[in-house]
């Protein structure tokens, strides 16, 4: 364990950041699951509504570096592709 005051503080900060980032990633996964659920139900309008709500959340979390901007783009692209396939 941490031996110095500074190391103890850094350990506390790291744990706080870990928990915060985990919460943020969980929120993104929840929004993605809502979109997928609407797609599986075959409801295009609901899927678009959920996707439009998920997009800013995904972008905001990527801006905060909980995960990369490229991963955010990949998630949005894959969801959008599935929604377009549903419409066709």
In whole angstroms, give the CA distance from residue 43 to residue 40: 8
Right CATH for 5-87 from 3.30.56.10, 1.10.10.60, 1.20.58.110, 1.10.10.10: 1.20.58.110
Per residue in 18-56, pLDDT (tens digit) is 999 999 999 999 999 999 999 999 999 999 999 999 999
pLDDT of 30 reads 97
pLDDT at 87: 85
Which two structure tokens, joined as six digits, stand for 76? 């949005």
Distance CA 20, CA 65 (A): 12
Prediction pTM value: 0.86
Q: Give the start-to-end residue ranges of the domains of the chain.
A: 5-87
Q: How distant, in Å, are the alpha carbons of 24, 51, 75 from that of 67?
A: 9, 19, 11
- d(CA 64, CA 16) in angstroms, rounded, equals 15
């Amino acid at each position: 364990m941490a031996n110095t005051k500074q190391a103890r503080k850094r350990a506390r900060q790291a744990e706080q950041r870990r928990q915060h980032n985990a919460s943020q990633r969980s929120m993104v996964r929840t929004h993605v699951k809502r979109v997928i659920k609407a797609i599986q139900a075959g409801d295009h309008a609901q899927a678009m509504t959920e996707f439009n709500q998920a997009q800013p959340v995904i972008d905001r979390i990527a801006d905060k570096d909980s995960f990369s901007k490229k991963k955010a783009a990949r998630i949005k692209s894959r969801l959008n592709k599935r929604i377009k396939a549903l419409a066709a």
